Amino acid sequence: MEIFGIWIAAFLTLCIYSFLYKDNPFYRFAEHLFVGMSVGYGIVLSVHQGFIPFAWEPFWAAVKPFWPGVPREAGWSGLWKLIPIGVGLLFFSGVSPRHTWLIRYPTAILIGFGAGLSIPNVLRANIFEQTRGTVEPFASVHAGTLSGWGIFEAVLMVAGVICTLTYFFFSVEHRGPLKWISKVGIAFLMIGFGSAFGNTVMGRVALLIQRVDFLINDWIGTIF
Amino acid sequence: MLSKLMNLDRRVIFIFVALAVIIPTLLPLNLPINVSEPTQRIYDYIDALPAGSTIMISFDYGPSSLPELNPMAKAVLRHCFDKDVRVIGMTLYAFAPTLADTLITEVAEEADAVNGEDYVFLGFRPGGEQVMLRMGISIGSVFEKDYTNTPLTEISMMKDITNYDQIDLILDLASGSTTDLWITYVNGKYNQQIAAGVTGVIVSNMYPYLQTKQLVGLMPGYLGASEYEKLIGVPEKGTQGINNASPVHVLILGLVIIGNIVFFIQRRREE
């Protein structure tokens, strides 16, 4: 059975790579199969790991005591769980043009909750901490504990931040010194993009290497 | 000659790339691996933990990122079990539970680690940052049972673990934006130490967090995996991967340089 699985995986891998030569029915078959299976798998996962434990089970637990023939032991205490479920269901009001306005309530709760949760934390982690990290080395410069290379790094960091921010400062026309500062900012941005591109290539090559390793060692290994 | 190079069929480049991967796979290279500081920092941190400490590993990746992140996960798990550091596994990514559970079980069997005593895998919970914040109050309120449906109250290693206060390090193995969330919500709010192992695609976004020490350390893609394997002395898929990747990197670098030279020469001629 395992060998059967390896052969299917190898066949589909070759189907996908056949696109590198040109578009063909084998590629389209594998592509459609992949999309269909991913969507199907995603739906099953969402139902089993999201809908059932977090919507259906709390709902059933809440209404079960009121079901005919079920002893009313739990009472009313579980009913509060119907409130978030009901608010969530309002998202579906969009399907009826007459009731579409109801969608504003869950949207407002979601945005309010999200903004309240993220604004202070994001400000702290991405603005304050990063600003501290940029200027903090200068405390070591002042204390005389930073090496020559460390001082160069600290100055370069601040210069990079100022030049890059200047490039995105559109309230004043970029002329004279501002033009040159923003040009240096572009250079810093290009270095950043180059680094990101290089790392992306490394990531994509890793996928190819894994597939080639699978084809040579696992698949061809079952033949010889 | 120049116009031929500029109009080179892309399939010729694909053949070169394929050869650059296939040849090292058949004839393995043994290139030297120098451990970078960010990877060394994770290793040193875990190595300095006393036996009985706990680290939480969040497996936030799916099958498409498995080649880069599985070797990292394996190396770190081996290191933890070797040091008697307890491991809590979990994931915020719906496609990860089977993959992560298989990996932990495989490494645990190798190391004779016992489920429930040396490690536990909690599985998946949807909600991202809400799960993270809630675990700061009580892990048991988010994960009432582990992946095998055993109540957390019946798992011996979870008896003295309530929230992040009893966890010495969180390692996020990520292919998406979850590391940002761990840093923003868990490091920021609970001052929890965070380390990350990420795919090459997102590693550039993580370096600012290293500089500010919001991350203890960082493992970048295959390179990070190979470095960690070197540190624990068990070269495996990460080492093999970076050895196979190096010829492709050289090839791509060469193609970029040639492409630029040809482009500039042609532009000068046109002027």
Q: How many CB pairs under 8 A join A and B?
A: 115
Q: Does A5 touch chain B (CB under 8 A)?
A: no
Residues 6+ apart with CB under 8 A from B105: B115
For residue A182, give the H/E element and its range.
Answer: helix A177-213
Which of A7-16, A139-148, A173-182, B184-193 has the lowest average pLDDT? A139-148
Q: How many domains in chain A?
A: 3
Q: What is d(CA B248, CA B16) in angstroms, rounded to the nearest whole number?
A: 9
Alpha helices, DSSP H only, in B27-167?
Answer: 37-47, 66-82, 97-111, 129-137, 139-142
Does A125 share its domain with A163?
no
Measured in whole angstroms, the distance separating CA A211 from the mean position of its chain's CA atoms is 24
Final residue of a domain: which of A42, A69, A96?
A: A69
Asked: is B37-243 a CATH 3.40.50.150 domain? The reply is: no
User: Are residues B173 and B151 in contact, defined by beta-carbon separation less than 8 angstroms?
Assistant: no
| Inter-chain residue contact B25 with A216, CB threshold 8 Å | yes
Strand partners, B57: B89, B171
Q: Contact A202/B200, CB-based, under 8 Å? A: yes
Structural domain spans, chain B: 2-24+248-270, 37-243
Q: Residues A149, A219: one domain?
A: yes
Say if A131 is an interface residue toward chain B (CB within 8 Å).
Answer: no
Residue B127: left (phi > 0), alpha (psi -120 to 50), or beta? left
Q: Decide if A216 and B22 are in contact by the 8 Å CB cutoff.
A: yes
pLDDT band at A173 (very low <50, low <70, confident <90, very high): confident
For residue B206, pLDDT over 60 is answered with yes
ipTM above 0.95, yes or no: no
Q: What is the mean pLDDT of chain A?
A: 88
pTM of the predicted model, to two decimals?
Answer: 0.87
A98 shares its domain with A143: no
Whether A30 has a pLDDT exceeding 70, the answer reads yes
| Lowest-pLDDT choice from A13-17, A166-170, A181-185, B4-8 | B4-8
pLDDT at residue A74 greater than cutoff 60 = no
**Which residues, numbered 94 to 123 in chain A, qualify as contacts with chain B under a Cβ-Cβ cut-off of 8 Å?**
117-118, 121-122
pLDDT of B99: 92
Whether residue A15 is found in the same domain as residue A61 = yes
Rounded to the nearest angstrom, the minimum Cα separation between B52 and chain A is: 30
Same domain, A24 and A62: yes
Q: Are residues A95 and A140 in the same domain?
A: no
Tell me if A54 and B213 make a contact (CB, 8 A cut-off).
Answer: no
pLDDT in tens, B113-171: 999 999 999 999 888 888 999 999 999 999 989 999 899 999 999 999 999 999 999 99
CB within 8 Å: B201 and A203: yes
Domain of residue A175: give its range: 136-224
Structure tokens at A127: 């603005």
Mean per-residue pLDDT over chain B, rounded = 92
Domain-terminating residue out of A17, A34, A69: A69
Q: Which residue among A40, A69, A98 closes a domain?
A: A69
Cross-chain CB nearest to B188 (options A125, A157, A202): A125
Residues A121 and A148 in one domain: no
pLDDT at A71: 66
